[in-house]
Amino acid sequence: MISIGHPLVLHNRLLLLNRNPSFFPSTTRRSPSFTIRSSSTVRERELGSELYASAPFPPIKAAKRVVLVRHGQSTWNEEGRIQGSSDFSVLTKKGEAQADTSRQVLIDDAFDICFSSPLIRSKRTAEIIWGAREDELITDSDLREIDLYSFQGLLKHEGKAKFGAAFRQWQLDAANFNIDGHYPVRELWARARSCWDKILAHESRSVLVVAHNAVNQALVATAIGLGTEYFRILLQSNCGVSVLDFTPQPEGGSPLICLNRLNQTPNSPIAASGGRKASERIILVCHGATQSSIEASVSNSGDLPMNMLGIIQSQKTAELLLDLKVSSLISSPKKACTETAMAISRVQEAADCLGADCVPRYQEMKQIEYLDVESILQQSNMDATEVSGHKSGWLNEYDDRITSTIWHQSEKAWQSLLSELSNDAEPEKIVVVVGHPAIHIALMGHCLNLTKDWMGSFHLDAGSISVIDFPDGPTGRGVIRCINYTAHLGRWSIPITRSIVDDENF
């Protein structure tokens, strides 16, 4: 366990080589260059104290999937009180209903164990989700919510009035926030890292963890190697579900870790539940399955149209986005992407007929060559069937030449999207981007100000959507509201959890 007094300095060389031995040079991958990265605008001299040096993760014997769930709405959530690790709030009726929805979503999974925060609001959520299962439910105090000391119990306006500058720092620079002689976010990161040692040490293949907003953020961040400056950047809504896959290394050492899903919520991901409100948003839509996507292989076989499943997926996505007025639609020029974009456009234009608006909606449609990565994937020596699109971290299977090309091209695409978000006087601007999962993974990497070496740490499925909010405008930090949301696909959705019988890689 890393103590609170451990030097809080992150260097990507230490982090990547300790956490992910796949980044050592091999026959197909060159040793990456390493730089200190930050998604924030904090000055470099302050940054050194807020980033975290993560110790290597313990080796595992078999693949492990960990499902994180935040508790349902609590009475203090409803009142707008600062909860922290206090234990005076309980689930509201809405919170109980949210927990029951999560129970139904996860009912078919054969979890081996459940770890829960001991706080009432979280433990009750865990009990509802766990239901009649006879397997073990363990409470762990390290999973309690962030300790906020004198802030706890205050309404937000009371915190602002009573603590002034400290409250402003909590809002604007939480990683360096200090109260009562403590740095709560730094302490939380250390505690989350300790939790992973216990979770991974347990002999289980499928693990449910029910906890809180801040601690779940810290668990996700420490797993994939992000420091404390990413606090409030990876959202966790009430009963939002996040999934992390841990894959053992043949030679031992720290497992490969991939964020398979972030914040799949009981309600629509575009409803903006939780987090700061944003008037600018980018929605990344992965095109529907193509004719080469049989048996879940990634398409690198050319410019192919969608198959019947892809057509259904695109229509379901268009229906989901009907709740928003889309400002512009941008897609890769590939057939599957343009077909998906057209499906979205047709539904938007029929908004009045469908009862979603009083008038039809018309949006500008564009194609950006920088979003075309299928042509790059075609340059790989691997056949499409060699790379499983359902396998976490599948981008790691491509050689460094391919991922580097995707990364550099995606940077140009990201800058184009930010310009698109900025060049309109609309009070709200929603840009929908349709492309291949690989380009969207890279775009999220640029949003988080990472390097290409993190691309294998994220996963997207065909037909999924991911949402990036810009509460401070397109020149500010992007906040990831959800990643790989597929619940809108109905019976064709990708399950949050899968059977792990005879399936080492899920």
Q: Which domains does the chain have, with CATH numbers?
A: 12-267 (3.40.50.1240), 276-492 (3.40.50.1240)
Catalytic residue among 50, 71, 420, 488: 71
| Annotated binding residue 65 | no
Report the pLDDT value the prediction gives residue 24, as an integer from 0 to 100. 30
Rounded Cα distance between 460 and 298, Å, is: 11
Contact between 137 and 114 under an 8 Å Cβ cutoff? The reply is yes
Residue matched to tokens 């509460």: 471
Q: Is 41 a residue whose pLDDT tops 50?
A: no
Residues in a beta bridge with 429: 280
pLDDT (tens digit per residue) in 157-190: 999 999 999 999 999 999 999 999 999 999 999 9
For 309-439, strand residue ranges (E) read 328-331, 364-367, 429-435
| Annotated binding residue 75 | yes
Rounded Cα distance between 263 and 258, Å, is: 15
3 state DSSP class of 395: helix
| Annotated binding residue 77 | yes
| Annotated binding residue 70 | yes
pLDDT (tens digit per residue) in 46-73: 333 334 456 789 999 999 999 999 999 9
Give the count of alpha carbons within 13 A of 439, CB side only: 30
| Annotated binding residue 156 | yes
Q: Is 320 a residue whose pLDDT tops 60?
A: yes
Report the pLDDT value the prediction gives residue 208, as an integer from 0 to 100. 96
When comparing pLDDT for 20 and 182, which is higher?
A: 182
Could you tell me the CA-to-CA distances from 430 to 67, 270, 313, 444 in Å, in that order?
30, 11, 21, 16
Q: Where are the alpha helices (DSSP H) in 65-183?
A: 75-79, 93-106, 120-130, 156-163, 165-172
Q: Is the dihedral of CA 308, 313, 316, 322 positive or negative?
A: negative
Contact between 478 and 446 under an 8 Å Cβ cutoff? The reply is no
Rounded Cα distance between 390 and 403, Å, is: 18
Task: Kindly indicate the confidence band of residue 15, based on its pLDDT and cuts at 50, 70 and 90.
Answer: very low
- Arithmetic mean of pLDDT over the chain: 85
Catalytic residue among 50, 145, 280, 420: 145
Report the pLDDT value the prediction gives residue 390, as an integer from 0 to 100. 65
Contacts of 279 (CB under 8 A, 6+ apart): 427, 428, 429
Contact between 394 and 505 under an 8 Å Cβ cutoff? The reply is no
| Annotated binding residue 73 | yes
pLDDT (tens digit per residue) in 384-402: 544 556 688 889 889 999 9
Q: Tell me the pTM.
A: 0.87
What angle (nearest 5°) sits at the alpha carbon of residue 422, between those of residues 330 and 173?
Answer: 115
Report the pLDDT value the prediction gives residue 29, as an integer from 0 to 100. 31
Question: Within a 10 A sphere around the Cβ of 238, how many other Cβ atoms?
Answer: 26
Rounded Cα distance between 488 and 466, Å, is: 12
71 is catalytic: yes
